[in-house]
A and B are shown apart, each in its own frame.
Chain A
């Protein structure tokens, strides 16, 4: 049973558009939800994260939303740029253990 589900698997948007990625999770003890960005040949890099006590966190063009009741989260990228083209992973953990469970990722392509 996959504990973190991510959609879509791939997504193409035009430059300047808004990207929306979504995740759902099963384990109600998860309380920390990071999003990672990965470029080819590199390790994942933390993009933005949110704790379960919050429902929204913003960092520049990137915003993550969290819905505890529905066990869902999303990542919104406004004014998407070709440089945003990468694979994005959502993940979840309980901060007591620090063990992250990852979704399968979304390959984002931003076309100029």
Chain B
């Protein structure tokens, strides 16, 4: 059973529209992360959370918001989507006290037209 799931798996949005990407984890990890991955690049951290109700800015937060309503769920919100946000988005959960491992979901491919 997948411990980190993401929905939707694929999304096509229009420029200026609002997009919400959802992530659910059953690992009972305190920390959750959102990354984007572009061709030829590694993963870049957008937002992360230390627990329910907390969100922190990562390395590339501009144009994105995050929401952590519960231990299990972490959402990434694009209020006004732009074509430059076309990418593959990965959610992960982790517990730094356990050594730092992060466990990734299968990704969401977002295309903004």
Chain A residues in the interface with B (C-beta under 8 A) = 4, 6, 9, 32, 34, 36, 41-46, 49, 51, 89, 91, 93, 95-105
Contact = CB atoms under 8 A, between A and B. Distances in A.
Contacts of B97: 95
Nearest to B101: A46
15 contacts: A9-B40, A32-B99, A42-B106, A43-B105, A46-B103, A49-B101, A51-B99, A95-B97, A99-B33, A99-B48, A100-B43, A100-B45, A101-B45, A102-B44, A103-B42
A93 B90 contact: no
Interface residues of B, number: 28
A37 to B, nearest CB: 11
A109 to B, nearest CB: 16
A9 B40 CA distance: 9
Interface of B: 4, 31, 33, 35, 40-45, 48, 58-59, 90, 92, 94-97, 99-107
Contact of B42 (A41, A99, A104): A104
A51 B101 CA distance: 11
A36 B103 CA distance: 10
Contacts of B43: 44, 89, 100, 102
Contacts, number: 71
A8 to B, nearest CB: 13
Contacts of A41: 106-107
A83 to B, nearest CB: 19
B101 A34 contact: yes
B102 A46 contact: yes
Contacts of A34: 100-102
A21 to B, nearest CB: 13
B102 A100 contact: yes
Contacts of A6: 42
Given A95-B99, A98-B31, 20 more contacts: A9-B40, A32-B100, A34-B100, A34-B102, A41-B106, A43-B4, A44-B90, A49-B99, A91-B42, A93-B96, A95-B96, A98-B102, A99-B48, A99-B58, A100-B43, A100-B45, A100-B100, A100-B102, A102-B44, A105-B40
